[in-house]
Amino acid sequence: MSGMTPIEAVKARMEATFARWTRDTTLAEMRADFDASLGGAEAPPCRDVEVAGMPGAWFGPEAGQGAPAILYVHGGGYQVGSIRSHRGLMHRLATAADLPLLAFDYRLAPEHRFPAALDDCAAAWRWLLAQGAAPGRVAIAGDSAGAALALATMLRAKREGAPLPGAAALLSPWLDLEAKGESLTSRAGLDPMTPREKLLVMARLYLGREGDPRDPLASPIHGDFAGLPPTVVHVGDHEAILSDSETFAERARAAGVEVTLEVWPEMIHHFQIFPDLPEAERSLARIGEFLRARIS
């Protein structure tokens, strides 16, 4: 798009995608459009695998028994997103970290409401350990709703007395289904990805009428973070949900967790998924370095 900066072009592209979605657009069409918009240009090599009965894929180097690896949970507001939409991002993170990365397609709402997606993430974590992975040599990572699921997976594992990973990476985490963060006001209009009204609709579809948006396994901003592994958080300064990252970092540090928070100027929600942004490559390089240093 001539005359635009890279981030302006990304915003325009995503605004055009969302503008195509009307009341007549089916959920299946939205999912296909989302996959094509985010993942269509990149088709990196991967190795298909079944993960606890779910479609999965390995990216990056070959995974050896007991060797370090990343378990990645894709985002998409719990309603859209897949290995296909995030395959470029996952490949680039695996390359940046020089670590094998395992992805999987968990169940989506509204067909499968909370806690179905979390059940699937917990199953994927157990499956990976059953393959011989050493928990302290595995990092769990995710973006947006996937980052919330990654965090909730750790909270659930801690609650159940299960092993925890050795590190975590949260990319633009959406952690508060009540959407109460201050940045939803101060950054309103800057980020086409996460306006408050859209967040509340997605939260309602995920939780259903009886769901509690303050349940720490649904909105992990309310979790008990004591004992969690070293965690890196990267978020854009123009994100409407910037406050989720800032609040998490403050609360987790108060609980004794090592947290590295980086706020990227002018960047929008899960900016790392856009390969044409120079900031995306730099962010993934820093995240990869963080994870490699803690689990290799």
In the chain, what are the domain boundaries?
6-295
pLDDT of residue 237: 98
Whether residue 197 lies in the annotated active site: no
- pLDDT of 23 > 90? The answer is no
Q: What is the pLDDT of residue 39?
A: 72
Confidence bin at 209 (pLDDT 50/70/90): confident
The residue-averaged pLDDT of 234-240 equals 97
Cα–Cα distance measured from residue 114 to residue 119, given in angstroms and rounded to the nearest whole number: 9
pLDDT at 41: 65
Model pLDDT, residue 42: 65
Asked whether residue 37 carries a pLDDT value surpassing 90, the answer given is no
- Cα–Cα distance, 83 to 295 (Å, whole number): 24
Residue 111 is a catalytic residue: no
- For 12, what's the count of Cα atoms within 13 Å in the CB-facing half-sphere? 9
Give the pLDDT confidence score for residue 71 in this predicted structure: 98
- When pLDDT is cut at 50, 70 and 90, the band that residue 28 belongs to is very high
What confidence score (pLDDT) does residue 2 get?
A: 61
Catalytic residue among 86, 234, 269, 270: 269
Q: Which fold has domain 6-295?
A: Rossmann fold (3.40.50)
Which residue out of 85, 91, 238, 239 is catalytically annotated? 239
Is 37 or 91 the better-scoring residue by pLDDT?
A: 91
Which pLDDT score is estimated for 63? Answer: 86
**Per-residue pLDDT for 252 more than 80?**
yes
Q: Are 102 and 150 in contact (CB under 8 A)?
A: no
Share of the chain above pLDDT 70, in %: 98
Average pLDDT value for residue range 231-239: 98
- Asked if 109 and 206 touch (Cβ cutoff 8 Å), the reply is yes
In the predicted model, what is the mean pLDDT of residues 44-54?
Answer: 96
End-to-end CA distance of the chain: give it in Å, rounded. Answer: 41
Is 112 catalytic? The answer is: no
Average pLDDT over residues 156-174: 98
| Separation CA 151–CA 221 (nearest Å) | 9
Average pLDDT value for residue range 156-173: 98
Q: Which of 74, 82, 91, 144 is catalytic?
A: 144
Per-residue confidence (pLDDT) for residue 1, from 0 to 100: 52
In the DSSP assignment, the letter for residue 195 is -
What is the average per-residue pLDDT within 174-191?
96
Please compute the mean of the pLDDT values over residues 138-160 and round it to a whole number. 98
Per-residue pLDDT, averaged over 262-281, amounts to 96
Share of the chain above pLDDT 90, in %: 88
